[in-house]
Structure 1
Amino acid sequence: MDPPNEVRDIFLSPGDFHFGGPNLRLRTILGSCVSIILWHPVKLLGGMSHYLLPGRNNPNNAQNLEGKYGEEAFYLFLEKIKLTQLPISEFKAKIFGGSDMFSREEENLTLVSNFLNAKLVGQKNINFAKQILSDNSIPIISENTGGSKARKIFFTVWDGEVWLEMQESSK
């Protein structure tokens, strides 16, 4: 499908979320963060999240939904999809990110529990995405997760395509 005459190009920083129609190109750069992309292949609607952690340590402190937490980013998707009056199960998902961004040298220097917890963030983010999508009967049609390199991703809502560039590690 050809791109629309006017394309809105939006860069998502960590914690950002965006959802909209076929004139959007959404892009971001991921390390241990994960992006969930949801796309409706008939209505050409879709969105992208860029979350840092699966959830808050203290969910009772949540005044507003924040895209930096996977759980809350997914609720943002649910709010936007509810407005479309489309069943969420008609959307298709793609997930990206969740890299282990720590070097082997750092691993050998310390076994401090905070470091070990940080090292697991990428995998926890991946696990969360897969679980929440499964719980909501949304099929994952593409994924590129894990590893040790950063990723640049570009999502074009008009055709549902995602372009991926693997970044060289600075390790």
Structure 2
Amino acid sequence: MTGQTLVKVGMADLNIAMEGAVLKTTGLGSCVGLTLFDPQSKVAGMAHVMLPSSEIARESQLNIAKYADTAIPELLGRMEAVGARLGRIEAKMAGGAQMFALGGSDTLRIGPRNVESCKVILQHYRIPILGMDTGGNYGRTVEFDSYKGILLIRSVQHGVKEI
């Protein structure tokens, strides 16, 4: 995906892209890189979700991009504002790894909980998930092409794959 405009999405960040621009985020360990795409309007969005729910937020100024339950509605709103329609939007996601060996504590299973939270919210909006590369114990970098709707996933351990 070279020669195209690159739109970077930082950690606990989200953004949209159109007209073939590529959304990119790095450093996905337990975080989830969630992409939304309207194939008709060619509007794409990406959120770098760090945590499953804003109910655990401790910051005085809530970062809505940080949490699955606030990032997804915000991303949908931004996409719809530039021509996407909810009934056409599709999702793909990557990340949600379990980066460290932990005991049985569910509170520390951030990666799997991030994936599950994203799935529940997408189901609420009736957004189909067309592809996923989640879990494992390794990091990922992802790029999403806003023209073709292709999610490119890179990892040191597993090379490059497209979904």
Which bracket does the TM-score occupy, shorter chain normalised?
Answer: 0.7 to 0.9
CA RMSD in angstroms, aligned pairs only: 2.6
Quote the offset at 1:62 in angstroms: 7.0
TM-score (ref. length: structure 1): 0.80
- The equivalent of 1:98 in structure 2 is 96
Paired position in structure 1 for 2:16: 19
Q: Secondary structure at the match of 1:50?
A: strand
**Correspondence for 1:159 among 119, 133, 148:** 148
For 1:138, the aligned partner's letter is I
Paired position in structure 1 for 2:120: 131
**Structure 2 residues not aligned, in runs of 5+:** 159-163
Deviations 1:40-92 (A, max 9, x none): 11111101000100122356977555211111111211221331354312111
Counterpart pick for 1:41 among 20, 39, 42: 39
Name the CA distance, whole Å, in 2 between partners of 1:47 and 1:54. Answer: 18
- Distance in 1 separating the partners of 2:72 and 2:142: 19
2:107 matched residue in structure 1:
117
Q: Runs of at least 4 residues of structure 1 off by over 3 A?
A: 57-65
Whether the aligned pair in 2 keeps the contact of 1:152 and 1:167 (CA below 8 Å) is no
Separation in 1 of the partners of 2:110 and 2:58?
22
- Uncovered stretches (5+) of structure 1, i.e. residues with no partner: none
3-state secondary structure, aligned to 1:128: helix
SS of structure 1 residue aligned to 2:73:
helix
Q: Percent identity?
A: 26
SS of residue matched to 1:67: helix
* Deviation for aligned residue 1:166: 2.2
Of the two, which has the highest radius of gyration?
1
Instruction: Give the structure-2-normalised TM-score.
Output: 0.84
Q: Per-residue CA shift, 1:106-125, capped at 9, x if unaligned? A: x4xxx596xx622x100110
Deviation of 1:162 (Å): 1.1
SS at match of 2:123: helix
